[in-house]
Amino acid sequence: MGVVRKREAARRDLVAHFVYLAEEAGLDTADGFLKSAESTFTDLSLQPYSGTLVVSSLPELQGIRRWRVRDFENWLIFYLPTQNGVSIIRVLHATQDWWSLLSVTD
């Protein structure tokens, strides 16, 4: 099994999305989102080059890939492949201005 490392910004994103979904769609949906996100992270850790490369001239975005959360197609996972898995940088809703949000990673 590959290693999944979640950066602090990604952890904050997951909490924010959980709270939003719990309030708007119910606790079961929010819980399902977290389970789907974790399952998708595991899949990516096993095949880290599955995602689409984010093309940017910004040096801080070089090598970042994008993939959708399974069953929650409007949420995007931004990650970097690592030697033994993936580093999850952000988990953002597709309608968010993810270009600017990715430029401010921790």
For residue 52, give Cα distances in angstroms to 23, 28, 30, 67, 79: 31, 30, 26, 7, 10
Roughly what angle, to the nearest 10 degrees, separates helices 8-25 and 27-46? Answer: 150
List the domain boundaries for the chain.
3-97
CA atoms of 12 and 40, how far apart (whole Å): 17
Predicted pLDDT at 59: 78
| CATH code for the domain defined by 3-97 | 3.30.2310.20
Tens digit of pLDDT at every position of the chain (106 positions) = 799 999 999 999 999 999 999 999 999 999 999 999 999 999 999 999 999 999 877 777 789 999 999 999 999 999 999 999 999 999 999 988 776 666 655 4
Taking the model in full, what pTM does it have? 0.90
Pairing between strand 3-6 and 85-93?
Answer: parallel
